[in-house]
Homo-oligomer: A and B are copies of this chain.
């Protein structure tokens, strides 16, 4: 399973081209990413695993980072939106999902990619979870239901407000290098920050 080129060694060596080859490269790159992380994803190794060579890769992607981002996109999955019936439960569920994601190997890869992009927004934009509104969508959905139930204020239906909780959690990973945030932290973020923020609040003075 590791290191086996996709080409059958002895069989009729039909030489892949175009899309077929591209998919093989992406699969190989994704495998390398999950096995060794972005730092360990070497162009030579990807080429070897895909049963091709560096030419075919550099003909398609300008550099290692671009390949890494493309490969990561194959690995990222969409988040299921919880519906526990009350806001707090949904919030904790979303936070736990994010916690699992960021503490998984996938999370480490994503952090490395973001770091390697070094603020190049045209590259960052290619990462699914950076697409801003894409990341905000589940939160807005959950909040929308809470607003309908009267649990949350309509003013909270604002991307920056809605995503506060997950941004705080992400900060835990970036600053502390924590492997996994303990559940206390999630509860604290929810109870001390997020829920007070989005619940119906009195109009504030001056």
Contacts and interface: CB of A to CB of B under 8 A. Distances in A.
A118 B112 contact: yes
Contacts of A119: 108, 111, 173, 177-179
Q: What is the oligomeric copy number?
A: 2
A85 to B, nearest CB: 12
Contacts of A199: 204
A196 B202 CA distance: 9
Contacts of A160: 168, 188-189, 192-193
Contacts of A39: 118
Interface of A: 39, 108, 111-112, 114-121, 123-124, 130, 132, 155, 158, 160-161, 164, 167-168, 170-171, 173-179, 188-189, 192-193, 195-197, 199, 201-202, 204
